Structure 1
Amino acid sequence: MLDLALIRSEPERVTRALARRGVAADAVEAVLDLDERWTERQEVREALRLRRRRAAEEVARARTEGRTSEPFEAAGRQVAEELAQVERQAAALEAARAQALLALPNLPATDAPPDAPEPAAEAAGHHQAPTPPPWPKPFPPLHHADLVATLGLAATAGSAGHGFIVWRGRGARLIRALTDFMLDVHTREFGFEEVRAPAPATREALFGSAHLPLLAGKIYRVDAAPLAGDAAKPEEQRGAGAPLFLAPRAEPHLAGLYAGQVLDASRLPVRLVAAGPAFRREAGGGGAAARGLVRLHQFDTVELYIFAAPEQGEEELARAADAAEAIPARLGLPHRRRPRAARALSHAAAKTIDIDVWSPGMRAEQRADGTRASSEGTWLPVAAISAFTDYQARRTNTRYRSASGRARLVHTLGGAAVALPHLVAALLESGQEADGSVRLPPALAGYVGQEVLHAAPADES
């Protein structure tokens, strides 16, 4: 969350910065108004506490001198009642101020563009495609959903309902191979440390990463209490009232890894990578937009996360974006890299670099936002690397001790690098052959154990 002291001291600057994100000025004014009212109640509280102390002193003096203390005791009771009321008012204002403060997103970086520019032609990456590449083969490309069916890679997960799939055989091996490939690139070439995080997360973890309270309606909640009729053990009953949530990504776990701690500056930057499932309730309905792997309630992703000193932020953002871009580049997939517009930034992000891959087979599909895709294909997002500055660290109270000995909030960065569904879609569509088979990129073939995925036998498709 934002620094309340900054809002107090530079409200105009904060208002101007948030206006670039489309945040109305009255959102900042609401925080300041609640803060001013809370401050006034605090002053009244201190005055009442002083009156209460003086009344207590008068009671003690009267008793010492043998005089009646009842008038002073009555005055003390009256002050105590007033003080209790003021403290309730102050607590309510403090809670309201906290909610108003949580509603404010991070300040956008000064170089975050107002609108997303088209990627420059000279952008790094041999396979970088600033403009949609032409389809190079003499047959029309199939949609990846058709290829998945033909190859027998996956099936609908009837046991879980709409929005879930079961990867089978070569499909499951493809997901595992892509995950291993990405982890090897990130750990061996870019120096990230691998982490295995649990699927569920606590409310505190999701609050720290800024997924809560904003995205509460999009996150699966797990009731931690035992099912009716279950004979839970005493140790299982402890904490049963605290719900867990299926993490929308590994970020809440990584962001909270050093919560409440002070790191030595010599340890920074700390670079982490985690692979695992991601869950989201918002996956849309049926129709063309939901066909195939475009919208799923559960999907696999590889995530990067970095703890850094403020002066390391820009270099680490570029490093993480390079690591994310290395995935489609090594796989030979046409892709683009571009900064995200300030108005489109996630709640905690100050700056984001997006990486998209080209999907040649979705040319007639409808995008998730309802717009029609190009007749030649469409771009699919696979990675988004963000700089969160100290926004998350203020929530998790994660600090580092600088050379001066002062404890300061760390800066955090991270994002998907990459999410598998869209990557698999582009991989299958780009590698398809006229006979329905898919030729895998050389960088991946060794992980899968074969160079070409052929159509599955009839009993497997």
Structure 2
Amino acid sequence: MHDLKRIREQPEAFDRALARRGLAGQAEALLALDRRNRQAQTELQELQARRNEASREIGRLKREGGEAEPLMAEVQAIKERMAALEEETRSLEETLRQQLSGLPNVLAEDVPDGPDESANVELRSWGEKPAFDFDPKEHWELGEALGLLDFEAAARLSGARFVVMKGAVARLHRALAQFMLDLHTREHGYLEVAPPYLVRDDALYGTGQLPKFAEDQFRTTEGFWLIPTAEVPLTNLAAGQIFKESELPLRVAALTPCFRSEAGSAGRDTRGMLRQHQFEKVEMVSIVHPEQSEAEQQRMTGCAEAVLQKLGLPYRAVVLSAGDTGFGARRTYDLEVWLPGQGAYREISSCSTCGDFQARRMNGRFRPEGEKGTRFLHTLNGSGVAVGRALIAVMENYQRADGSIAVPEALAPYLGGQEVIGAHG
């Protein structure tokens, strides 16, 4: 959510900022609604003062036996006008709220301009791409040949974009998730949280999925939403709260299933596990003092990179362009892991700073030391990392000529020392 006061003070700057996202001339319409609303509120205050004055005068006239009917008629007219104005202000405030809530966050100044992912800028790369003396296969070819990935069974159960994992691949998937969660909680200082997987409208509104992206979500018949990412419940731990400055930063992490309708992605990544309706992810969320948010994004991205480095997976880090940055983010760093089967880098983690955008939507605040007033928090979120995509990357980077898969050294303790996954698990 945007600060209306800031828009009033700097409408040109607001328009320039949103023009970078392809949204021009937003301030004028917002400020016109704001002026009408403030005019109606001013008239309400004036009418209330006149009604109170007239009511006192009516009381005096009645005590003294004077003629009170004209004033009584005026008070009645004032009440009717006030009722109409109250309805008008409610309508204007709701319209203003809806329009503001549908506008994306203002980008950080250093975000590169550009219409889409083609304008993303590589920041660094890590690791050597594996060299094979055979043609590397994609993960789904490996998994099906081993009998450990079953897409046909999943289709019978649930339809497209699901998978049944079996045996050693299922254990490898579980090991990856536990490895990531242990790394972030034991070495990176995140507090492990086990949040609900079903949330109310307010939670999705707070992080920016509602109202604009309802079609991307799954909703139950009881009105709950299945979480698209643990960012939603974790960030909403700050909703309606006032933190002490000494309680910041709050760093939390969770391993959860994630559910996405993948609206608009028809025909994209239809084979394999890259884009599914249900997947698991380890999510990191930081709730911080505004002065800490820039450094926190660098720290969070480093935590996600540590996962890939310990797994020995080559990757590159990119900063997303204006046209590719998500709705609630000011800036996003993506980590893209190398997939030999595809011969391409694919996104495996996004680490975003949101400034006070989400905190305003969910009214999350803190009280600075020695001050009476409160300020909005800053929030950040990052994948640490997507478990299914890490599984894909391990399978493809550690594949062998005979179709077996070597187990990364970091995962051996989670697999009882198993070094290779073969056809029999």
Structure 1 and Structure 2 fold alike (TM over 0.5): yes
Question: Greater CA deviation, 298-307 or 265-274?
Answer: 265-274
Give SS of 1:379's match: strand
Q: Is the 8 A contact 2:197 2:257 kept in 1?
A: yes
Q: Is the 8 A contact 1:271 1:307 kept in 2?
A: yes
Q: Which residue of 2 aligns with 1:111?
A: 110
Q: Is the 8 A contact 2:112 2:121 kept in 1?
A: no
1:118 and 1:5 map into 2 onto residues whose CA distance is 34
Give yes or no for the alignment of 1:410 onto 2:377. yes
Deviation of 1:283 after TM superposition, in Å, equals 5.6
Superposition pairs of residues 138-157 of structure 1, within 5 angstroms: 138-156=133-151, 157=154
Question: Greater CA deviation, 74-83 or 443-452?
Answer: 443-452
Q: Is the 8 A contact 2:333 2:351 kept in 1?
A: yes
Q: Which residue of 2 aligns with 1:195?
A: 193
Q: Is the 8 A contact 2:161 2:273 kept in 1?
A: no
Give SS of 1:329's match: helix
Q: Is the 8 A contact 1:284 1:295 kept in 2?
A: no
Give yes or no for the alignment of 1:15 onto 2:43. no
Deviation of 1:258 after TM superposition, in Å, equals 2.7
Give SS of 1:290's match: coil
Q: Which residue of 2 aligns with 1:62?
A: 61
Structure 2: which amino acid aligns with 1:419? Answer: A
Q: Map Cα deviations across residues 334-385 of structure 1 (whole Å, 9 max, x no partner).
A: 10011111222111111111100011212xxxxxxxxxxxxxx122111000
Deviation of 1:301 after TM superposition, in Å, equals 0.3
Q: Map Cα deviations across residues 124-161 of structure 1 (whole Å, 9 max, x no partner).
A: 74x1x6xxx4x611111111111111222232423333
| TM-score after normalising by structure 1 | 0.86
Give SS of 2:141's match: helix
Deviation of 1:273 after TM superposition, in Å, equals 0.8
2:327 and 2:253 map into 1 onto residues whose CA distance is 22
Give SS of 1:347's match: coil
Deviation of 1:194 after TM superposition, in Å, equals 0.8
Give unmatched runs, 5+ long, in structure 1. Answer: 225-242, 363-376
Deviation of 1:164 after TM superposition, in Å, equals 2.2
1:124 and 1:430 map into 2 onto residues whose CA distance is 16
Q: Is the 8 A contact 2:301 2:382 kept in 1?
A: no
Pick from 343, 348, 351: which aligns with 1:382?
A: 348
Deviation of 1:300 after TM superposition, in Å, equals 0.3
Give yes or no for the alignment of 1:455 onto 2:418. no
2:266 and 2:140 map into 1 onto residues whose CA distance is 14
Deviation of 1:162 after TM superposition, in Å, equals 2.3
Give yes or no for the alignment of 1:400 onto 2:366. yes
Give yes or no for the alignment of 1:424 onto 2:391. yes
Question: Greater CA deviation, 249-258 or 441-450?
Answer: 441-450
2:219 and 2:267 map into 1 onto residues whose CA distance is 27
1:312 and 1:285 map into 2 onto residues whose CA distance is 36
Deviation of 1:285 after TM superposition, in Å, equals 6.7
2:242 and 2:305 map into 1 onto residues whose CA distance is 32
2:163 and 2:95 map into 1 onto residues whose CA distance is 42
Q: Which residue of 2 aligns with 1:365?
A: none
Deviation of 1:57 after TM superposition, in Å, equals 2.3
Deviation of 1:68 after TM superposition, in Å, equals 3.3
Q: Is the 8 A contact 1:336 1:356 kept in 2?
A: yes
Give SS of 1:82's match: helix
Deviation of 1:173 after TM superposition, in Å, equals 0.9
- The 3 A distance-change label for structure 1 pair 287 and 88 is closer
Q: Is the 8 A contact 2:283 2:385 kept in 1?
A: yes
Q: Is the 8 A contact 1:283 1:295 kept in 2?
A: no
Give SS of 1:41's match: helix
Number of residue pairs matched by the alignment: 416
Give yes or no for the alignment of 1:252 onto 2:251. no
Give yes or no for the alignment of 1:5 onto 2:32. no
Structure 2: which amino acid aligns with 1:381? Answer: E
Deviation of 1:448 after TM superposition, in Å, equals 2.4
RMSD: 1.8
Deviation of 1:117 after TM superposition, in Å, equals 4.5
2:50 and 2:368 map into 1 onto residues whose CA distance is 44
1:186 and 1:255 map into 2 onto residues whose CA distance is 17
Q: Map Cα deviations across residues 218-268 of structure 1 (whole Å, 9 max, x no partner).
A: 1111122xxxxxxxxxxxxxxxxxx11001011111111132222111121
Q: Which residue of 1 aligns with 2:262?
A: 282
Q: Map Cα deviations across residues 179-236 of structure 1 (whole Å, 9 max, x no partner).
A: 0111121112211111111211111111111111121111111122xxxxxxxxxxxx
2:187 and 2:39 map into 1 onto residues whose CA distance is 56
Q: Which residue of 1 aligns with 2:205?
A: 207
Deviation of 1:311 after TM superposition, in Å, equals 1.3
Structure 1: which amino acid aligns with 2:296? Answer: E
Deviation of 1:284 after TM superposition, in Å, equals 5.7
Question: Greater CA deviation, 49-58 or 70-79?
Answer: 49-58
Structure 2: which amino acid aligns with 1:154? Answer: L
